[in-house]
Amino acid sequence: MRFGKIRIEDGFFIYTRHMMANSIPVQDIVWGYCKTEHEENRPERFLLSYALVIITRRRKKYEFEMPEKEAEACIQLLRALNREFVWGRPEGGRIPLANTPNIRDCGALSTIDDRQVLPHRLLFGGDLYHLSQTDQRILIEDYHLKKVIDFRSGTEILHRPDTEMPGVEYYHIPILDEEEEEVLHPGNWQIMTDRGEELSEAQMEELYENLAVDRYSVRQFALFLDVLRKNDKGAVLWHGGIGKDRTGVATALLLTILGVPRNTIRKTYLKSNGCLADEERFMRRMLEGKGEDLTLHEQRLKNFYTVDESYLNRYFYRLNQHYGSMQKFLSEELLLTPKEIDQLKERYLV
């Protein structure tokens, strides 16, 4: 089939450059998306070009101008011919699962050196309790999920165990030791309510500082990164309880190592607020239905369902203050060598 100046036939993506025909095996194309460019400072109707962008297993990027409908049709054919082909630009956006609201994809986030995170490889968020059959199918078939890393304590897991999925390896890497977990992070709403916890602002700040300097937590983050470094196929998903604090810090740390700018990391971290907004509204309605005075729960609701940029800033500030620099932290505390950092980049960036 022909799409603009390219065609797909006999399992090859064929295009012409400098008067010569070139071909790429369709099975070697791992990612594609549509790109639009507009005239600077003009409304969207001043469209300059529409293009199909594809990336191969060898991390080569190709761009082909073509009409929008042809680009979308080409993507549909590539998806039909190559089961591992992924499309779109998630950029830390939510994966539309029915039973868990805050599972997201790091794919397409850009690095300082103009590389991008491969989609469908690095997933993160909240627990996987009572996943529907459709949710499981999406994760296994569409995202090729191979590993799940659970940051929660044993108590949290007893309350809300992950759904076990066939062909998926599970790693329990609790980020806080059990004693600190009891004091600093109740983990889920029921545990918090049972203890009468309010999770004050001071506790939240202490939690993020401890994630930076506590020896146990640092060692657990190193184990998390080691699983990622050794993963050679499919997606890895890491999660905490609701997917914003321990998970947020782990994601921020990984993206820093991959070279994603700090401002992009902050924006990705703050997307939890939008993902969890409906959950917070549901909890408010449930508390009202029980005749509860919501004013007594405001602090608990805020700190359980939202994140604040100041918390992440606190983590990075404490980390730099304690270790001297991010580079020292990576090499001396996480024991990451330059070669291992390059391995992570080679595995997850294009």
- Condensed to tens digits (0 to 9), the pLDDT of residues 65-85 reads 988 889 999 999 999 999 889
Residue 256 has a pLDDT of 98
Measured between alpha carbons, how far is residue 92 from residues 54, 123, 237 in Å?
20, 9, 13
47-56 and 12-17 as β-strands: parallel, antiparallel, unpaired? unpaired
Give the integer Cα–Cα distance in Å for 205 and 62: 45
Q: Which phi and psi (to 5°) does residue 3 adopt?
A: -135, 105
Measured between alpha carbons, how far is residue 66 from residues 19, 48, 74, 319 in Å?
18, 11, 10, 47
Identify the residue with better confidence: 203 or 227.
Answer: 227
pLDDT band at 324 (very low <50, low <70, confident <90, very high): very high
Comparing C-alpha atoms, which of 330, 127, 134, 120 is closest to residue 233?
120
pLDDT band at 42 (very low <50, low <70, confident <90, very high): low
Least trusted range by pLDDT, from 7-21, 47-61, 95-109: 47-61
The helix or strand, by DSSP H or E, that contains position 313, with its residue range, turns out to be: helix 309-323
Contacts of 243 (CB under 8 A, 6+ apart): 102, 103, 124, 125, 126, 127, 272, 275
The helix or strand, by DSSP H or E, that contains position 327, with its residue range, turns out to be: helix 326-328
Kindly report, residue by residue over 139-171, the tens digit of the pLDDT: 999 999 999 999 999 988 998 999 999 999 999
* Sheet with 29-38: strands ordered across: 61-65, 47-56, 29-38, 86-87
Mean pLDDT for 170-190 is 71
pLDDT at 32 over 80: yes
Residue 39 has a pLDDT of 47
Kindly report, residue by residue over 78-109, the tens digit of the pLDDT: 999 998 899 999 999 999 999 899 999 999 99
Mean pLDDT for 193-222 is 83
Residue 48 has a pLDDT of 58
Alpha-carbon Rg for the chain in angstroms: 22
Give the integer Cα–Cα distance in Å for 5 and 16: 7
pLDDT at 26 over 70: yes
Mean pLDDT for 102-129 is 96
Mean pLDDT for 291-318 is 87
pLDDT at 195 over 70: no
Give the integer Cα–Cα distance in Å for 265 and 248: 9
Contacts of 27 (CB under 8 A, 6+ apart): 11, 81, 82, 84
pLDDT band at 47 (very low <50, low <70, confident <90, very high): low
Contacts of 9 (CB under 8 A, 6+ apart): 1
Comparing C-alpha atoms, which of 149, 199, 198, 200 is closest to residue 175?
149
Residue 198 has a pLDDT of 58
Residue 197 has a pLDDT of 53
CATH placement of domain 2-87: 2.30.29.30
The domain limits of the chain are 2-87, 104-348
Residue 183 has a pLDDT of 47
Residue 191 has a pLDDT of 58
pLDDT at 225 over 90: yes
Residue 186 has a pLDDT of 52
Q: Give the tokens for residue 144.
A: 């090729």
Mean pLDDT for 55-64 is 91
pLDDT band at 283 (very low <50, low <70, confident <90, very high): confident
* β-bridge mates for residue 49, sequence order: 37
The secondary structure of 145-170 as a DSSP string is EEEEEE-S-HHHHHHSPPPP-TT-EE
Give the integer Cα–Cα distance in Å for 238 and 133: 20
The CATH number of domain 104-348 is 3.30.499.10: no
Give the integer Cα–Cα distance in Å for 172 and 154: 9
Residue 44 has a pLDDT of 54
Percent of the chain with pLDDT over 70: 90
Mean pLDDT for 266-270 is 97
Q: Which phi and psi (to 5°) does residue 37 adopt?
A: -130, 135
pLDDT band at 271 (very low <50, low <70, confident <90, very high): very high
Mean pLDDT (the chain, rounded): 89
pLDDT at 189 over 60: no
Residue 250 has a pLDDT of 98
